[in-house]
């Protein structure tokens, strides 16, 4: 019996077109990709209020009340303030211990609380502008402290240490409280 | 025979192309990893507001978005301010609580990014925030662009 002799072919995938396919895919992903970074103002919300528990007592001087009304006017402790003033006022209030030592302002940065309250009709835009100023005040205070203690800006310092070891953050915690808005008209 | 005969280089002037597919594949893999395909169809208008003191969200995988803005009705018309999560408009604001709680169970380090139209009012934003507090998703981020406000 004679077996049919099979010619052994070497199985080969043609590879010449591979580069073209890769190019096509590459172009697809190039077109589709949007390298956008999400930026924004980070905040930590307070946990839901416990109805059985009274809120802890806070001394009047440690609380800074910022109210933004429906017309976009800013009231700080019942007094009118303009947006560019907010940063300086917050800095004076939070860092009172190391500055003027005014008996009406906070005892120490750690005890200082900035409370932000809005009306229901307050434009979001103005609220963010105001929040930006408050965050800016904290950022500047942290920057100053970091330059004083370590001789580098806070951003660099923050990148070097872990969250637990961050003494500057400990020194100036962002105690920002978001109050529930008034029902308004 | 001239002494200063021009020397002929006897190498072939060709760029080796054998490694090209590898390079292309590397680029390809880079872009595949970087790409985030847009997964939601926006049904509300979101024009971001601007701020200076902002931070980047480093871990995109942890982020969940809530969109707040006027509903797009088509033809350049805008309706009332609505809340959109993922692909759906939320009718009942109290549904946010359960939705976000479920997301938190899947990803305990969840960051909620609030993408709010700049012309919105604080009332609805605050309602959403109250729901987030109830859900326990306390890390939020007000999405803004960099830059000072353009005066209008």
In B9-78, which residue ranges form alpha helices assigned H by DSSP? 20-34
What does the angle CA B28 – CA B29 – CA B32 come to, to the nearest 5 degrees? Answer: 85
Name the CA radius of gyration of chain A, rounded.
29
Q: How confident is the model over A73-86, as pLDDT tens digits?
A: 888 888 888 888 88
Mean pLDDT of B98-127: 88
Task: Place A169 in a pLDDT band, splitting at 50, 70 and 90.
Answer: confident
Instruction: Determine whether the interchain pair B142/A41 forms a contact, defined as Cβ–Cβ distance below 8 Å.
Output: yes
Assigned CATH for A60-178: 3.30.420.270
Nearest by Cα to B32 from A33, A21, A20: A33
Specify the pLDDT at position A6: 66
Does the pLDDT at position B149 exceed 60?
Answer: no
Number of helices and strands in chain B (H, E): 3, 7
- pTM of full prediction above 0.80: no
Q: How far is A108 from chain B (nearest CA, A)?
A: 23
Which helix (H) or strand (E) segment holds residue A134: the answer is: helix A124-149
CA-CA distance, A182 to A150, in Å (whole number)? Answer: 44
Q: Where are the domains of chain B?
A: 49-146
Q: How far is A169 from A167, CA to CA, in rounded Å? A: 5
Distance CA B21, CA A23 (A): 8
The residues, any chain, with a CB within 8 Å of residue B111's CB and separated by 6 or more, are: A42, B57, B59, B62, B63, B64, B139, B140, B141
Comparing alpha-carbon positions, the chain B residue that sits nearest to A179 is: B126
Query: What average pLDDT is seen over chain B?
Result: 82
Give the number of A-B residue pairs with CB atoms closer than 8 Å: 148
| B49-146 is classed CATH 1.10.10.60 | no
Location of structure tokens 């997301």? B103
**How do the domains of chain A map onto residue ranges?**
60-178
Chain B nearest-CA distance from A5, in A, is: 37
Residues 12-71 of B with CB under 8 A from A: 20-21, 24-25, 27-28, 31-32, 34-38, 49, 51-57, 60, 63
Q: Tell me the C-alpha distance between B76 and B47, whole Å.
A: 14
Inter-CA distances, A180 with A26, A47, A147, B24, Å: 50, 13, 36, 55
Longest dimension (CA), chain B: 98
Closest-CA distance, A7 to chain B, in angstroms, reads 31
Q: Which pLDDT tens digit goes with each residue over A112-167?
A: 888 888 888 888 888 888 888 888 888 888 888 888 888 888 888 888 888 777 88
Comparing C-alpha atoms, which of A46, A28, A41 is closest to residue A133?
A: A41
The Cα–Cα gap between B26 and A184 comes to 58
**pLDDT for residue B152:** 44
Stretch A48-54: mean pLDDT, rounded?
77
């Amino acid at each position: 019996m004679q077996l049919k002799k099979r010619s052994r072919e070497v199985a080969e995938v043609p590879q010449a077109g591979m580069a073209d396919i890769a190019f096509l895919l590459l172009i697809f992903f190039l077109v589709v990709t949007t390298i956008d970074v999400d930026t924004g103002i980070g905040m930590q919300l307070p946990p839901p209020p416990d109805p059985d528990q009274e809120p802890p007592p806070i001394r009047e001087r440690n609380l800074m009340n910022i109210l933004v009304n429906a017309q976009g006017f800013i009231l700080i402790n019942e007094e009118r303030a303009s947006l560019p003033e907010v940063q300086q006022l917050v800095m004076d209030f939070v860092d009172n211990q190391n500055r003027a030592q005014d008996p009406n302002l906070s005892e120490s940065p750690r005890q200082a609380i900035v409370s932000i309250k809005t009306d229901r009709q307050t434009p979001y835009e103005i609220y963010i502008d105001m929040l930006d100023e408050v965050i800016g005040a904290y950022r500047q205070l942290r920057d100053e402290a970091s330059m004083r203690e370590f001789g580098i800006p806070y951003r660099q310092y923050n990148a070097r240490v872990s969250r637990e070891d961050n003494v500057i953050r400990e020194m100036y915690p962002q105690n920002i409280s978001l109050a529930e808005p008034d029902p308004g008209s | 025979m001239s002494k200063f005969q021009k020397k002929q280089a006897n190498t072939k002037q060709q760029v080796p192309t054998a490694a090209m597919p590898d390079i292309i594949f590397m680029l390809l893999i880079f872009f595949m990893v970087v790409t985030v395909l847009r997964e939601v169809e926006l049904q509300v208008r979101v024009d971001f507001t601007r701020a200076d003191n902002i931070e980047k969200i480093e871990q995109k995988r942890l982020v969940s978005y809530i969109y707040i803005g006027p509903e797009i009705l088509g033809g350049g018309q805008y309706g009332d301010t609505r809340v959109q999560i993922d692909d759906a408009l939320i009718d009942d604001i109290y549904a946010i609580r359960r939705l976000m709680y479920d997301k938190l169970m899947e990803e305990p380090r969840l960051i909620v990014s609030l993408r709010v139209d700049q012309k919105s009012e604080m009332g609805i934003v605050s309602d959403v925030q109250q729901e987030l507090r109830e859900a326990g998703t306390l890390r939020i981020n007000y999405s803004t662009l960099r830059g000072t406000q353009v005066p209008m």
